Amino acid sequence: MRAVSEHEEPATDASIRTFLAEERTFLAWIRSGLAAIAVSLAVGRLLPELLDADQGVYRTLGIGYGTLGVFLIGYGAVRQRSVERRLLAGGFVPLPLWVVATLGIAGLALGVATVATLLQEA
């Protein structure tokens, strides 16, 4: 166990819980990104085979989901570092509106396009 210097405050239960919550949030960004990448493979490769359909539209959707997944993982890593620095300084970093809007629009667009494509194939 290391000693606490006179300039460093000991960690409190609340600060430990806050840092652990930030770690869980980071892991959620990673899980969401991996899930989007898995969906990209399912939509882009498996569905055209199962439905015996043209691969063009499904490949485009798969690329969209894959791009979303890569963004989630990359931005999650950047955000984790930013929030950690701010927490150490005693502050907080709210999620920027552009990230909320981008993820919301991308998720909505991909979801609607996927459902429309599947309905068209039915």
pLDDT digits (tens, 9 = 90+) for 40-66: 999 999 999 998 888 999 999 999 999
Residue 89 lies inside a defined structural domain of this protein: yes
Q: How much is the pLDDT for 4?
A: 46
1 — pLDDT class (breaks 50, 70, 90): very low
Residue 13 lies inside a defined structural domain of this protein: no
DSSP 72-102: HHHHHHHHHHHHHHHHHTT---PPPHHHHHH
Residue 5 lies inside a defined structural domain of this protein: no
Residue 80 lies inside a defined structural domain of this protein: yes
Domain count within the chain: 1
Residue 14 lies inside a defined structural domain of this protein: no
Residue 52's domain comprises 19-121
Residue 10 lies inside a defined structural domain of this protein: no
Strand residues in the chain grouped as ranges (E): none
Distance from C-alpha of 120 to C-alpha of 65, rounded to nearest angstrom? 19
> Count of CB atoms within 10 A of residue 91's CB?
9
% helix / strand / coil in the chain, to the nearest 5? 80, 0, 20
The model's pLDDT over 78-103, given as tens digits with 9 standing for 90+, comes to 999 999 999 999 888 899 999 999 99
Whether 103 contacts 70, CB under 8 Å: no
Q: What is the mean pLDDT of residues 26-42?
A: 97
Q: Hunting for tokens 């539209």 — which residue is that?
A: 57
Per cent of the chain over pLDDT 70 is 90
Residue 32 lies inside a defined structural domain of this protein: yes
Residue 98 lies inside a defined structural domain of this protein: yes
29 — pLDDT class (breaks 50, 70, 90): very high
